[in-house]
Every structure is written in C-alpha cells, then in structure tokens.
Amino acid sequence: MQRDADALRDTGVTGVAVRLETPRGTVTARSGVGDLVTRRPVPQDGYLRLGSTTKTFVATVLLQLVGENRISLGQTVDQLLPGVVSGAGNDGRTITVRDLLQHTSGLSDYIHDVFPDPGSRTYFADRGRAYKPEELVDLAMRHEPAFPAGTRWAYSNTNYVLAGMIIEKVTGRTWEQQVHDRILRPLGLQHTDTPGTRPYLPYPRTANYQQFTADGPMVDTTIAYRPFDSGADGSMTGTARDLNRFLAALASGRLLKPAVLAAMTNTVPVPRDSGHPEGTRDGLGLFFTPLSCGGGYLGHGGSGFGYVVRAATTVDGRRTITVSAHSRSADPQNAARQEDALRDLVDHALCRTA
C-alpha cells in the first residue's frame, strides 16, 4: 500500500493519505508533504473535505425515513416539495425520490452555473459566495432536463440539494441536524461535521492545491469554495477513521433495515463515458465498482478544488479504505494518470485483504 501511495505521489500529487481497516487491524500510508511551504509531513488521520461522499450520509438519512414509513422511494418530488421543480421542461411530478438518489432524474447540475472560469481569478472572486438550496435549484431550473426521469443516468448535484430539502420538509429539521442525530452521534463519529458555510478545515490537515491551467502554479485551495462546498451534495468534513467506520456500519447493516439496505444497493449501469471504471453501477448514494480479483466494493468519491477523496468498503463491511489526494492537475493526461493510480491503490488494497 505504501508503494501505491508513493506511485500516486509520483504522478504529481502533493500529499497522499491512506487508511485501510481489516479484521486483522489497521494499515496506514502517507506520501508527499502536508503543504508546499513548510514541507511538513502529511498528518496521521488529518481532517478532510469529504465532498460528494456527503451524499452517502444524506441518502442514508432519507432511507432511514423510508424504513420508518415517513416517505417512500416512489413518491414524487412535487408531492414533497410542491412547485419547486418546474420550468424549462422540468416537472417534479415525474421525478421520484429514487430518481434523485440514483441520479436518474435528468435534472441539470447547478455546478455548471457556479463554476469559475478556467483561470483562478474568478475562483478567488467567487469563493466566499454561498447560495441557499432554493437558489441552487432555481439555477438548475433554468435548463431543460437532459432526459425524461427514469430513462437514463447522469450525475447531478442538484439531486442531493433537493434530497436535503426533502429531509427538512419531512422531519422539520435540517439535513445537518438529522445526520448528526441519526449517524454521527450513534456511531461516535466525533471528528465528522457538517460545517455549512464555515470555510475552514480544523487541524491537523493537509493543504489542498489546485492547478487551474496546465502550465500554471499550484494554488492553495484549502479554504472551501462555498458556491458548491456548503450543501447536502458535498459540504461535510471528517477524518478517514470516521469515514471508514461509517461505511463499515452502513454495509454491515447497522444503519438501515435489511430491505432498505437492499434497495440502497440495487444498482443501475453507469455509462462508460461518465468517468467511472468500466462495470461501475450506481445505487442510492453508493456506487458498486468491480474488483480486479473478483467481486466488487461499495463506496463513493468526493472531490473539489485541490482534493479527491475515495472511500470504499467490501460488501460485507469487513474491509474499508479511505484515500485522500491533496492536489489536482489541470493537464487532462496527468489528471487521468492520477485517477488511474488512485483506483489501482483502492483495488490493490481491497484485493490483498480479500
């Protein structure tokens, strides 16, 4: 695992951290530096931006509500949030809760409306602006849907903004409060948080760096980019230790009733051009990815400016890994090499302990 962490570093990633939990114990690896100024080591179990791994927490809360018969996966968005999804051909009467969680809604991804230009100038200009969930949905509603709900698959962060709004509508409490009460507190995940618009990561942490142009410098992006780092689709922070504990509890059935967990892991194919490994399938807040040694793993990735986090667990929850890479390249070929190295690390680690 150390060799694989070093191989990921050798693609140009400034800092790498890995934590693998197995029935035989915990294995960790670190490579690179904690920041480019002091060259300090990558910290042990430092705080991470979880990015879209937040979606797995949100999906788990919604599925707990399904298990409590407070909502159903077949309910439409319009039944739960009347009039919110409408305009430009969007129709909340045709989109179900399942469509949101499984990215089969066809809704436009609001990310395209708040993404900065290719250089870093607008990144810094826009970094501090936070949007309300309703504002993000309104941005997406300006665009026609990519396809009729339920007919195809396309990843859209808008789906999980709506999922967070549904949790609040059904329970009367925010998705953040529900995640704390239903997941973080029961599992003792004391180092995981829902910081909302608070932009700073606690210490210890590894600095994140984004290269905005292929020939440009590495820019420190450790502070959150609040236009898309502050909602139910990707705002949580935590540690690899906590994230592994969450995934292990989820896969082993400690958080969801058996029938509901089965629904969560009932998957649909992901298109080959989606950026996922061949054979990847999407459930409800969890992806299934094949292993080179046979079988596969459940998990979710998270990324933002300057970081990539990948969390994965075997289907029985007995072996769990979190990998964090703390810089991202603007060169497409190098970015692809980094992604391949990250995937190989996860695959090798889970196969060696299978």
3-state secondary structure of 301: strand
> With the C-alpha atoms ordered 173, 179, 184, 190, is the resulting torsion angle positive or negative?
negative
* Structure token pair of residue 269: 């194919």
* Structure token pair of residue 89: 């051909």
Q: Where are the beta strands (DSSP E) in the chain?
A: 15-22, 25-32, 47-49, 86-87, 90-91, 209-211, 218-220, 237-239, 268-269, 281-282, 287-290, 296-304, 307-314, 320-325, 327-328
Contact 132, 110 (CB under 8 A): no
Query: Is 105 known to be catalytic?
Result: no
Q: Is the peptide bond before 204 cis (omega within 30 degrees of 0)?
A: yes
Q: Which of 232, 226, 62 is nearest to 134 (CA)?
A: 232
- Annotated catalytic residue within 52, 108, 156, 329: 52
Residues marked as catalytic: 52
